[in-house]
Structure 1
Amino acid sequence: MKYKYNTPYSIGRQLNLATSASNALVSKLLEPHDLSLAQWTVLSSLWQNGELSVKSLAEIKGNAPPATSRIVDRMLSGGLVERSQNRHDRRAVTVGLSQKGEDLRHLQSIYEEVNVILLEPLSPEESENFFKLLNSVEQAGRTWLAQSKVGDD
């Protein structure tokens, strides 16, 4: 992609641009179902795992629990999920699918459609290598962060 401005050759910038395009694509596909990407990720977690605590949903999503709680609250208002008392800890609350949320289960694999669209220019081998490379970049960042915390004590 050619830009008329000078821009740095930055992994972070390119990942942000790719993420933005991917999120816009997913949002467009979810729009007819009146779902946001954040809501879909909660539903997807529940479709795959059953009832979960807000804390567990936050861990899966990679969000802070308060942000996840706000998403869940909006989903409760929209009738997509239900809250119930945890069977094992009466102080805790779990989030589960409502019938409306269950009825959207056909959207569970929408990421596969997104992958097909985004990876269309790549061969199967390039696609496989792309995921391996992304994983390597992620791990390098996490390793550096973990090592940088050792000296911060």
Structure 2
Amino acid sequence: MVNRVTSQTMMATSQRNLQSSAAQLARVQALASSQQKIGKPSDDPNGTANSLRVRVDQAATAQYGRNIDDGNAWLTTIDSALSSTTDILRRVRDLTVQGANDGALSPAGKEALAKELEGLKADLLGQANTKYAGRTVFAGTSDAGAAFDSSYAFSGTGAPVS
């Protein structure tokens, strides 16, 4: 049996093909205007997964950079505090040697020396309580306000920072 193709069937087929072509053209134009290879995830599931993976990797890399900057700033703060502490302790040593010479100082000189040593003691307390980003750097894992209190007692934790 031979089927007849009517003009109505041919027009319906042509119209369907035109609509399909128009939809495909619209999709291609949308991709071209957005300058993106993938318009929606269903266009390329593997490409979408790869794109998401790259975004996650970029975010992780950016975080690594921020962590490095923060770590360097912590180390710079600690290095500066330790350097200042070394300078203070050298001055304490010099004053101690100077004060140990019995005949070299008058009572007023010894009093001035004692006052300077008290000031250096306060300076050492300040260096011991050095802060970075609101946290005391020598307090271990403690978030206490200071590593050492006014009586010079350690108020931090002895636990290692991890």
TM over 0.5: no
Provide the TM-score with structure 1 as the length reference: 0.27
Answer with 1 or 2: which has the greater Rg.
2
TM-score scaled by length of structure 2: 0.26
Q: Which has the higher contact order (CA 8 A, sep 6+)?
A: 1
Question: In proportion to residue count, which structure has more strand?
Answer: 1
